[in-house]
Amino acid sequence: MLLIQRARRYSPHSEEKDWAILTEVGKLLGAEEVVSEDSFDTFLHSIQLLNTSLSKGNLSTDKPLVLSMGRAPQTLNYLSTLEGKGVCVLNPTAGVRACQRSNIERVMRENHLPLPPSEGEKGYWLKRGDQSAETQEDVCYCANRTELELAKEHFRRRGIVDFIVQAHVEGDLIKFYGVEGTKFFRCFYPCDDGETKFGAELQNGISHHFSYSKEQLQHDAEQLSRLLQTPIYGGDAIIRADGTYVIIDFNDWPSYSRCRQEAAQAIVERVRQL
């Protein structure tokens, strides 16, 4: 078995958390070595040992397994080749590629999943659409249309032409974590515990803990995970005062730092279903 940690650029301020969840899963499966895609030569060397070192550890089948957070194009290309040879990769490379914001928004719209409107009176969020945020500048709040157009121009100067615009939705920000095909689904309020990546979460202010259907949110998140072929997933949602909600972000393989041990057990359960 091989466990691959994503490169630092794809997980700013979360490298140790990524390593921790992979290590936790590896311990449960009898494979504790984690390889970072930052060291691609080392990664390739580990892959080349496939026939001798890739096994399913404590699992009942001999089909090789790779548990990967990797997002770099060269990583996904190589893992795609392995998938073609029968190696099982979680999350599948097709799922990782599908988790580009612009594609996620399209899939949600086509399947009538709750997403923010494109117009509103409380400001806008401009988000890089071709991949997850790598820097604080990849997601920015704009108070009005003038600021939004200036921010778009700044994106273009940076070479970013694929982006999405979401109207700001007032309400409680929650982070959710799940593993498709298991009962595991957890929600947390980042504005309560102060754990934040870039600080943008604070735009929503204090949490009011509005009542909402966690079961319906899990249903919608699971549907999206299946559509995107991303069984190990996380995301963000806004809960309005009336209990309705919108999903504002969706990610392949989060770090699960708020619920690491439970998540690791659920990931192992998902692996055993393969």
pLDDT, position 61: 46
Q: Nearest CA to 125 among 106, 109, 143?
A: 143
d(CA 252, CA 235) in angstroms, rounded, equals 9
CA distances from 76 to 89, 97, 257 (A): 10, 8, 24
**What is the pTM for the complete model shown?**
0.88
Q: For the purposes of burial, counting CB atoms within 10 Å of the CB of 13, is it exposed (0-12), middle (13-18) or buried (19 or more)?
A: exposed
Residue ranges and CATH numbers for the domains of the chain are: 2-91+259-272 (no CATH), 101-252 (3.30.470.20)
The neighbouring-strand residues paired with 238 are 173, 246
> In 118-259, which residue ranges form alpha helices assigned H by DSSP?
145-157, 190-193, 214-227
Three-class DSSP category at 173: strand
Three-class DSSP category at 115: coil
pLDDT, position 47: 61
pLDDT, position 48: 62
> In the chain, which residue ranges form alpha helices assigned H by DSSP?
15-29, 40-48, 50-53, 73-84, 93-98, 101-110, 145-157, 190-193, 214-227, 260-272
- For the segment 90-117, what is each residue's pLDDT rounded down to a tens digit? 999 999 999 999 999 999 999 999 999 9
Buried/exposed code over 144-173 (b: 16+ C-beta within 10 A; e: otherwise)? eeeebeebbeebeeeebeebbbbebbebbb
- Residue 79, phi then psi, degrees to nearest 5: -65, -35
- For the segment 196-239, what is each residue's pLDDT rounded down to a tens digit? 654 555 677 789 999 999 999 999 999 999 999 999 999 999 99
- The per-residue pLDDT string of the chain (274 residues; one tens digit each, 9 = 90 and over) reads 889 999 888 887 788 999 999 999 999 998 767 888 887 666 666 666 554 445 445 544 456 889 999 999 989 998 999 899 889 999 999 999 999 999 999 999 999 999 999 999 999 999 988 866 566 788 999 999 999 999 999 999 999 999 999 999 999 999 999 999 999 999 999 988 766 654 555 677 789 999 999 999 999 999 999 999 999 999 999 999 999 999 999 999 999 999 999 999 999 999 999 8
Pairing of strands 185-188, 232-239: unpaired
pLDDT, position 184: 98
